[in-house]
Amino acid sequence: MTRLLLIGPPGAGKGTQAVRLSEACGVPAISTGDIFRANVAEETELGLKAKEFMDAGKYVPDSLTNDLVRSRLHEADVAGGFLLDGYPRTTAQVDELDDILAAGGHSLDVVVLLVADSDEIVTRLSKRALDQGRSDDTEEVIRHRLDVYEEQTAPLIDLYQSRDLVVTVDGLGSVDAVTTRITDALLERGIVLTLN
């Protein structure tokens, strides 16, 4: 069983690496965005509540996010492990995740922290915004997102480092190079991945 958490700034390639790692581990990649979208599409009770906040452009409150994640982590495909991306985002959510996992006699195995130079990320996201015609993703907006990420994530990283769960990996370079760095870091923690 492998229970991983993937953390990194916007533009560090978390989504791409999450897919690769989940395939290599044989566990589902779970992101809060995917959970929200699936529950909204299925019109579940929790999904409809989340939709009210999303439609209003507001953050979905921790209590609702926690309920959605708890529900997802109790699905059958998660029995063999998972890779979480985008949750937890707050120390309160860390406590909730701990409780969810402890109820099943489990805990996180590793937290993979993707790091990348801010200027490189700004360049990468600016190019992506241009390619996708997203004129709202200006350098100022991107830098603000990076600041918010740093503010929100620093306490989580400190907490997980105090538990000796964090492996730090350079998120820049080719997709294959980053994947190799992650698999090497996980191997040092005794987690063997089979990449195709």
Residue 87 known to bind ligand: yes
Residue 58 known to bind ligand: yes
| Burial of residue 98 (number of CB atoms within 10 Å: 0-12, 13-18, 19+) | middle
Residue 160 known to bind ligand: no
Calpha distance 123→70 (Å, rounded): 36
Residue 72 known to bind ligand: no
Residue 26 known to bind ligand: no
Residue 32 known to bind ligand: yes
Among residues 151, 128, 153, the alpha carbon closest in space to that of 139 is found at 128
Known catalytic residue at 127: no
Report residue 184: phi and psi, to 5°.
Answer: -65, -45
Known catalytic residue at 124: no
In DSSP terms, which residues pair with 84 in a beta bridge?
A: 5, 30
Residue 86 known to bind ligand: yes
Known catalytic residue at 134: yes
Among residues 174, 156, 173, the alpha carbon closest in space to that of 165 is found at 156
Of the listed 3, 70, 89, 181, which one is catalytic?
Answer: 89
Give the ranges where 32-117 is alpha helix by DSSP (H).
32-41, 45-55, 62-73, 91-103
Of the listed 127, 134, 163, 189, which one is catalytic?
Answer: 134
Of the listed 3, 14, 20, 124, which one is catalytic?
Answer: 14
Of the listed 3, 143, 145, 163, which one is catalytic?
Answer: 145
Residue 145 known to bind ligand: yes
Residue 88 known to bind ligand: yes
Binding residues: 11-16, 32, 37, 58-60, 86-89, 93, 128, 134, 145, 173
Binding residues for AMP: 32, 37, 58-60, 86-89, 93, 134, 145
**What are the catalytic residues?**
14, 89, 128, 134, 145
Annotated binding site for ATP: 11-16, 128, 173
